[in-house]
Amino acid sequence: MNLIDGNQIATEVLDELSQRISLLKPGKPCVVFVRVGDDPASVSYVKKKERTAQSIGIDARLVVFPTSISESDLLQEIDRLNADDSVHGILVQAPLPSHVNEVSIFNRVNPAKDVDGFHATNLGKLCQEQPDAFRSCTPAGIVELIRRSGIETSGKRVVVLGRSLIVGKPVGMLLLNRSIPGNATVTFCHSRTHNLPSITKEADILIAAIGKPNFVTAQMVKQGCAVIDVGINRIADHSTKSGFRLVGDVDFDEVSPKTSFITPVPGGVGPMTVAMLMSNTVQAYEQIIQTQS
Ligand code: GUN
């Protein structure tokens, strides 16, 4: 079994970006994070994204709104950021309060500044295999982990557990596309799938993104498969200072001995999501500057 070190690969990506950013001087990419409310996981994710951006020379700004903000007021705030020429990337941290339609918000972000890749235009461009599409950060991070670990995808059977807009659907599309890595035979499974283990057992590469702690067990995987665990589930643990610990969607102890490659939680996909956000921000800056010249 090879443990895929997401922290190390993310550091490599960030080092490369840092070099690319130094060539942009005196210009500097700027990303704005929009957070609504104080959900502890969102606070911690956005802080990590801000710190990472600053560490590689990206200007990061944070705007926070109360949970009571109306959808129309939030749309107006996004319009202001869209119109601000000093801003190259905009990220609205999900989840949003239930009275706000998340898709309406994602679709309001100028597609040229959509570093999350959630706008319909960027998702459409992904289907069209257009190179200037912003790929959403977690799917792009998974593909980068697969590429840098030397895992073959062409002609292989990929099974994606989950069909979310943020991970499941776009990661399946990326691995289906005619790219490297790509050209895989992709199957999506979800809560209505019948006979799930019979499908997951066929996977050469299994991507678990369903948000259920330790859901994938040893009986569900084939000997020698590669497993990418996207789950970040907080479970109560009174022996830790925070009172919780993070576990993935995969029962690591049980599944890892059967695998050729596996990502840990934490330290697998998580750091790559942040690294790819930085990559998208540099891409946004470069594309915006190019259209201006
Ligand atoms: N919430 C969980 N993952 C993400 C992400 O990649 N982007 C945003 N904006 N919100 C998230």
pLDDT in tens, 199-237: 999 999 999 999 999 999 999 999 999 999 999 999 999
Q: State the span(s) of the chain assigned CATH 3.40.50.10860.
A: 24-109
**What pTM does this model have?**
0.96
Ligand 1 midpoint to CA 174 (Å): 18
Answer whether residue 293 shows pLDDT above 80. no
Q: Is 77 in the pocket of ligand 1 (CB under 6 A)?
A: no
Ligand 1 midpoint to CA 287 (Å): 22
Q: Is 112 in the pocket of ligand 1 (CB under 6 A)?
A: no
Report the atom number in ligand 1 closest to the C-alpha of 136. Answer: 6
For the question of residue 54 being annotated catalytic, the response is no
DSSP 93: P
Q: Is 116 in the pocket of ligand 1 (CB under 6 A)?
A: yes
Return the CATH fold of 137-269: Rossmann fold (3.40.50)
Q: Is 137 in the pocket of ligand 1 (CB under 6 A)?
A: yes
Q: What is the pLDDT of residue 228?
A: 99
Q: Which of 49, 113, 156, 169 is catalytic?
A: 49
Atom 11 of ligand 1, nearest CA residue: 94
Q: What average pLDDT score do residues 161-172 get?
A: 97
Positive or negative torsion for Cα 153, 286, 111, 210: positive
CB contact set of 158 (below 8 Å; sequence gap of 6+)? 172, 175, 184, 185, 186, 187, 203, 204, 205, 206, 207
Atom 2 of ligand 1, nearest CA residue: 94
Ligand 1 midpoint to CA 99 (Å): 18
d(CA 149, CA 269): 13
For the question of residue 49 being annotated catalytic, the response is yes
Question: Helix, strand, or coil here: 282?
Answer: helix
Q: Is 164 in the pocket of ligand 1 (CB under 6 A)?
A: no
Q: State the span(s) of the chain assigned CATH 3.40.50.720.
A: 137-269
For the question of residue 114 being annotated catalytic, the response is no
Other CB atoms within a 10 A radius of the CB of residue 69 amount to: 18
Q: Which of 114, 116, 204, 249 is catalytic?
A: 116
Q: What average pLDDT score do residues 111-122 get?
A: 98
Task: Indicate the average pLDDT of the chain.
Answer: 97
Q: Is 32 in the pocket of ligand 1 (CB under 6 A)?
A: no
Question: Where is 62: in which H helix or E strand?
Answer: strand 59-65
Most ligand 1 atoms within 8 A of CB, residue of 93, 137, 281 to mutate: 93
- Cβ atoms 28, 221 nearer than 8 A: no
Reported confidence tier of residue 280, pLDDT bands at 50, 70, 90: very high
Query: What are the tens digits of pLDDT across the range 33-78?
Result: 999 999 999 999 999 999 999 999 999 999 999 999 999 999 999 9
Question: Position of tokens 């309001």?
Answer: 108
Q: What is the pLDDT of residue 292?
A: 85
Question: Where is 158: in which H helix or E strand?
Answer: strand 157-161
- Cβ atoms 26, 288 nearer than 8 A: no
- Cβ atoms 205, 183 nearer than 8 A: no
Question: Helix, strand, or coil here: 46?
Answer: helix
Q: What average pLDDT score do residues 10-22 get?
A: 98
The class of domain 24-109 in CATH terms is alpha beta
Q: What is the pLDDT of residue 218?
A: 98
